């Protein structure tokens, strides 16, 4: 044996074949065009200032038409509840009109850099939820519309929603615009930070304890503490205590609380219960013993949030050997409202074999920590997602924040959105495009104010139609 052991290489690194699924091997400085440089080059084709543009076209549906189109395939008798919620405020209208905004965004400049996007990244779709060890995580928390799409669409929807939320909260126009500007700036700075970190560090960056300091959101500390305290008490046990009664055989069942919670026929309940068996196959096998120690006791129908009202959604009551509850939500997964509008501009999206699987995989691609019981199933031919219900969830109502908090909230959500996008899009590429100065921030803020004005006009049109009896609405639900 020589001094050099067998299998080693003298004077350089070992040359190994490229492995599919991994990056091409390179050394520092060897790339002719780095992701950062490619991002910078995109500015020539799509100037950052161009993102201020909102160019509405004659084919745009009016507010009533957009709502009626989005109600197609939903449970008809619940449509008035959805309309009533959307008619409450302009911010509420935006929350229920992801498809209409996608129509408008498809006519705005795009870099065509792909990312797994939320598709509905408005300011109320961020919140707290529990991890497997009882801690609280803050992140995006709604993925019904998630799709492989343009990162700008999420950022613009977030920014516009912050302007509307700020106006509803009574903040002045400068503050509302600053919230949108701050969200874009925080997104840009966070993406630049992630681009500089080792990949493993970037993947798990912006931990909860660092988020406030990273985004200089110190005015939000008290609000976040109050929301966290409420979230810790928001559990299956608490919901079961209010929404179930003990049966003669010692089990429990749901009680009617119409129109939000209602009991369903035995056949419908049985179909939901049976669907939990194929759901198990979508979970990691190490989760199976956990669920095997619970028995299914009841199923009820429960109306969900503004954007999802009218979809089929069930709560399933499980009890362990001590009678302690675990509640699962089995929620219908409809096709993403963004897909038709992406296709109109030649932005091809991957084929979807199951909409529940699309939602679940999109969620896992964007979150650092996801629900350990997140999966999907099919009920009577319809795709559903399955997740824990009331998993210590809590949220900040952006429309109820004080004026000196809305800009803090904007910066915090902008940072979370950047981290979520960086899991699927190379942060070096987006950071190279966004750059160091505030040109993009200014453009996004201008777009946000313009789109907020458009949404207020849409909301007014919807309210007028409701008062004229053109479309039915049920308020207060």
- The tens digit of pLDDT for each residue in 427-477 reads 999 999 999 999 999 999 999 999 999 999 999 999 999 999 999 999 877
Q: Is it true that the peptide bond before 108 is cis, omega within 30 degrees of 0?
A: no
Query: 112 Cβ partners below 8 Å, 6+ apart?
Result: 150, 347
Using pLDDT thresholds of 50, 70 and 90, give the confidence band for residue 10.
Answer: low
CA 238 → CA 127, 244, 275, 371, 399, distances in Å?
19, 10, 25, 19, 26
Contact 239, 261 (CB under 8 A): no
Extract the tokens encoding 7: 């299998």
Global pTM value: 0.94
* pLDDT of amino acid 179: 98
Question: What pLDDT digit, counting tens, does each position of 358-396 carry?
Answer: 999 999 999 999 999 999 999 999 999 999 998 899 999
Extract the tokens encoding 290: 């956990």
Give all strands (DSSP E) within 241-388, no chain letters. Answer: 244-246, 252-254, 261-263, 295-302, 313-319, 325-332, 375-379, 382-388
What are the beta bridge partners of residue 378? 383
Contact 367, 354 (CB under 8 A): no
| Higher pLDDT, residue 310 or 34 | 34
Q: Does 5 score more than 50 pLDDT?
A: no
Using pLDDT thresholds of 50, 70 and 90, give the confidence band for residue 30.
Answer: low
């Amino acid at each position: 044996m020589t001094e050099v052991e067998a299998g080693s290489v003298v004077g350089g690194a070992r040359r190994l074949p490229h492995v599919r699924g991994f990056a091409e091997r390179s050394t520092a400085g060897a790339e002719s065009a780095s992701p950062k440089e490619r991002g910078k080059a995109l500015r020539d084709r799509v100037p950052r200032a161009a993102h201020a543009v909102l160019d509405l076209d004659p084919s745009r549906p009016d507010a009533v038409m957009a709502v009626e189109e989005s109600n197609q395939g939903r449970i008809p008798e619940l449509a008035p509840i959805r309309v009533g919620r959307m008619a409450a405020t302009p911010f509420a209208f935006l929350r229920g009109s992801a498809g209409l905004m996608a129509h408008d965004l498809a006519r705005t400049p795009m870099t065509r850099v792909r990312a797994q996007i939320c598709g509905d990244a408005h300011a109320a779709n961020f919140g707290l939820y529990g991890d497997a060890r009882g801690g609280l995580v803050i992140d995006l928390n709604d993925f019904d519309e998630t799709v492989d799409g343009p990162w700008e669409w999420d950022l613009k929807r977030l920014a516009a929603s912050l302007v509307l939320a700020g106006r509803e909260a009574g903040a002045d126009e400068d503050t509302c615009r600053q919230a949108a500007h701050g969200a874009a700036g925080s997104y840009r700075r966070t993406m630049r930070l992630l681009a500089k970190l080792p990949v493993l560090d970037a993947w798990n960056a912006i931990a909860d304890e660092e988020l406030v300091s990273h985004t200089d959101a110190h005015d939000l500390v008290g609000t976040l503490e109050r929301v966290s305290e409420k979230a810790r008490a928001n559990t299956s046990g608490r919901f079961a205590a209010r929404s179930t009664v003990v049966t003669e055989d010692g089990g429990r069942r749901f009680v009617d609380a119409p129109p939000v919670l209602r009991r369903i026929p035995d056949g419908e309940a049985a179909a939901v219960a049976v669907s939990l068996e194929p759901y198990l196959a979508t979970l990691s096998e190490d989760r199976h013993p956990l669920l095997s120690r619970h028995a299914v006791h009841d199923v009820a129908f429960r109306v969900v949030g503004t954007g999802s009202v009218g979809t089929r959604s069930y709560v399933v009551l499980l009890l362990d050997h001590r009678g302690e509850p675990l509640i699962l939500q089995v929620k219908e997964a409809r096709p993403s409202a963004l897909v038709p509008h992406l296709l109109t501009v030649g932005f091809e999206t991957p084929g979807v074999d199951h909409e529940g699987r699309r939602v679940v995989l999109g969620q896992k691609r964007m979150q650092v920590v996801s629900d350990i019981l997140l999966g999907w199933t099919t009920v009577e031919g319809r795709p559903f997602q399955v997740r824990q219900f009331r998993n210590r969830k809590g949220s900040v109502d952006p429309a109820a924040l004080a004026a000196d908090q809305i800009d803090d909230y904007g910066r915090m959500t902008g940072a979370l959105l950047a981290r979520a996008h960086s899991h699927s899009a190379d942060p070096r590429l987006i950071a190279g495009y966004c750059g160091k100065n505030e040109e993009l921030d200014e453009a996004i803020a201008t777009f946000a104010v313009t789109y907020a004005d458009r949404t207020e006009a849409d909301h007014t049109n919807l309210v007028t139609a409701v008062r004229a009896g053109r479309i039915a609405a049920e308020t207060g639900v």
